[in-house]
Amino acid sequence: MNKEQQQIIDEAYKVFYENALSIKKGYEDGDMLGSQPHIDEMFSNPDELIILTKEEFINKCKTDVSFSVEWGLKIEEKELSTEERWRIRFDYYPKDKQFPWDRMALPSHSFLDNFNIPTKLITITYKDKTIESYE
């Protein structure tokens, strides 16, 4: 994950955390009586009102679409195919662009690993801003 993506996640988590703190305070002060299932998702242990850590928040955004939509943070990770990785290789080594790579069999993932070609595309969207990076 690059620095810009980390800043976006930090910003989204800050908004989430401040809301969770406010809700927790409301429960502790007795202002919010009764269980609210959508609010319970903000806590890793709703009985003790332990707020999700940043890592838990990120994982929940990756795996729970409704949670992701609620907080406006969409995190997608996609494993790259051999062909996608092979194309990236030529972005890293432009002098090889003349090589007729499309006429030869695609190399294995292990071959591409030798060139440190990324294996994953990470796309983060927050407040209509999308950033892609490779890992």
pLDDT tens figures, 50-68? 899 999 999 999 999 999 9
Output DSSP code: residue 37: H
Q: What is the pLDDT of residue 105?
A: 65
Q: What is the pLDDT of residues 24-59, one digit of tens each?
A: 887 777 666 555 656 667 888 776 788 999 999 999
Sign of CA dihedral 9, 80, 89, 108: positive
Q: How confident is the model at residue 107 (pLDDT cuts 50, 70, 90)?
A: confident
The pTM assigned to this predicted structure is 0.77
Query: At 100, which amino acid appears?
Result: P
Q: Which residue has the higher pLDDT, 80 or 107?
A: 80
End-to-end CA distance of the chain: 7
Dihedral (CA of 28, 66, 59, 4) sign: negative
- pLDDT tens-digit profile of 7-21? 999 999 999 999 999
Neighbouring residues of 128: CB distance < 8 A, sequence distance ≥ 6 = none
